[in-house]
């Protein structure tokens, strides 16, 4: 199986604080890697370092065997990375379609081409009927799908999802899980930071657990949730 992403010995320091300590991971084509751990574990910092939004103190990142360690976030995006953010960031004065167009223009300079991609993505995430609605009028579940649509409009080969299911009610959560499962069938590989264990168990092919900036366990979802160190550090005995 092709390795599409490799992060080696990633360390991130903020002053004297080591937020991520010598973490390595790899992602196979069409697979989902889950990152879990308690708040402050270093998940989002590692996520940001790999995607170019946080400076690394040490380590190396490659995608498709190309070293991108020194490349800024926009170059990583052009090379095949797309990501969502924990906090939704729509352009509230723009429509849903216009929000997605902003992302699509990165790879398509002609409006017709960008619009074609955007409409296709909106259909995929179930927002086509909201295309001409202002993004400021969307509820949380639809805002999360808009965030996903913007990332997909970049036509990523590797998609980074940062707690995209937080706060969703059970029906919306089920819809999002099904949507993400469908993305891997199109060949997209996914790295997912998530606290919702139902989603991690159903979606992840491999899971890495962080605590205090260190990797404390990795393996299948079932293996890690039964690991005593993970239970103590994150899940709790209940």
In degrees rounded to 5, what are phi and psi of residue 92? Answer: -65, -25
Cα atoms in the 13 Å half-sphere on the side-chain side of 133? 13
- Domain co-membership, 61 together with 112: no
Look at residue 236 and tell me whether its pLDDT is greater than 80.
Answer: no
80-128 tens-digit pLDDT: 999 998 888 898 999 999 999 999 999 899 999 999 999 999 999 999 9
Tokens standing for 99? 């929000």
Separation in Å, CA 185 to CA 9, 203, 204? 30, 12, 14
- Domain co-membership, 92 together with 69: no
pLDDT of 147 reads 96
Look at residue 138 and tell me whether its pLDDT is greater than 70.
Answer: yes
Tell me how far apart the alpha carbons of residues 31 and 147 are, in angstroms, rounded to a whole number. 21
- Domain co-membership, 201 together with 172: yes
Q: Which structural domain range is residue 34 located in?
A: 1-80+158-238
Q: Are 154 and 107 in contact (CB under 8 A)?
A: yes
Tell me which of 132, 155, 178 is where a domain ends. Answer: 155
Specify which residues 14 forms β-bridges with: 17
**Which helix (H) or strand (E) element contains residue 223?**
helix 221-225
- Domain co-membership, 31 together with 142: no
Look at residue 178 and tell me whether its pLDDT is greater than 70.
Answer: yes
Tell me which of 101, 133, 155 is where a domain ends. Answer: 155
- Domain co-membership, 15 together with 50: yes
Tell me how far apart the alpha carbons of residues 49 and 80 are, in angstroms, rounded to a whole number. 16
- The structural domain count of the chain equals 2
- Domain co-membership, 104 together with 15: no
- Domain co-membership, 26 together with 126: no
- Domain co-membership, 110 together with 170: no
10 Å Cβ neighbour count for 88? 16
- Domain co-membership, 76 together with 177: yes
Beta-sheet pairing, 158-162 with 189-193: parallel
Q: Could you tell me the CATH number of the domain that includes residue 198?
A: 3.40.50.300
Tell me which of 129, 155, 181 is where a domain ends. Answer: 155
Q: What is the distance in angstroms between the CA of the first residue and the CA of the last residue of the chain?
A: 37
CA-wise closest residue to 141 among 103, 114, 109, 179:
179
Reading across the β-sheet that carries 214-219, which strands appear in turn? Answer: 81-83, 158-162, 189-193, 32-36, 206-211, 214-219
- Domain co-membership, 8 together with 20: yes
7 vs 1, more confident:
7
Q: Are 211 and 37 in contact (CB under 8 A)?
A: yes
32-65 tens-digit pLDDT: 999 998 888 999 999 999 999 999 999 999 999 9
pLDDT of 237 reads 59
Q: Are 106 and 78 in contact (CB under 8 A)?
A: yes
pLDDT of 118 reads 97
pLDDT of 190 reads 97
- Domain co-membership, 93 together with 24: no
pLDDT of 88 reads 84
- Domain co-membership, 138 together with 228: no
Tokens standing for 62? 């490659």
């Amino acid at each position: 199986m092709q390795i599409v992403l490799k992060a080696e010995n990633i360390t991130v320091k903020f002053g004297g604080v080591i937020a991520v300590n010598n973490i390595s991971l790899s992602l196979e084509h069409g697979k989902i890697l889950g990152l879990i751990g308690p708040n402050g574990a270093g998940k989002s910092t590692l996520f940001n370092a790999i995607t170019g939004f946080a400076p690394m103190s040490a380590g190396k990142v490659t995608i498709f065997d190309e070293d991108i360690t020194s490349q800024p976030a926009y170059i990583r995006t052009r090379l095949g990375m797309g990501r969502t953010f924990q906090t939704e960031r729509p352009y509230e004065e723009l429509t849903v379609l216009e929000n997605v167009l902003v992302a699509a223009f990165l790879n398509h300079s002609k409006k017709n081409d960008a619009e074609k991609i955007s409409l296709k993505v909106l259909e995929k995430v179930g927002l086509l009927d909201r295309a001409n609605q202002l993004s400021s009028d969307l509820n949380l579940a639809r805002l999360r799908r808009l965030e996903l649509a913007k990332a997909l409009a970049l036509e990523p080969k590797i998609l980074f999802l940062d707690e995209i299911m937080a706060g969703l009610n059970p029906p919306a959560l089920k819809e999002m899980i099904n949507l993400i499962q469908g993305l891997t069938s199109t060949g997209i590989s996914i790295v997912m930071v998530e606290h919702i264990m139902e989603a991690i168990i159903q979606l992840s092919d491999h899971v890495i657990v962080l605590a205090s900036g260190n990797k404390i366990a990795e393996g299948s979802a079932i293996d890690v949730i039964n690991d005593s160190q993970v239970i103590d550090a994150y899940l709790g005995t209940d």
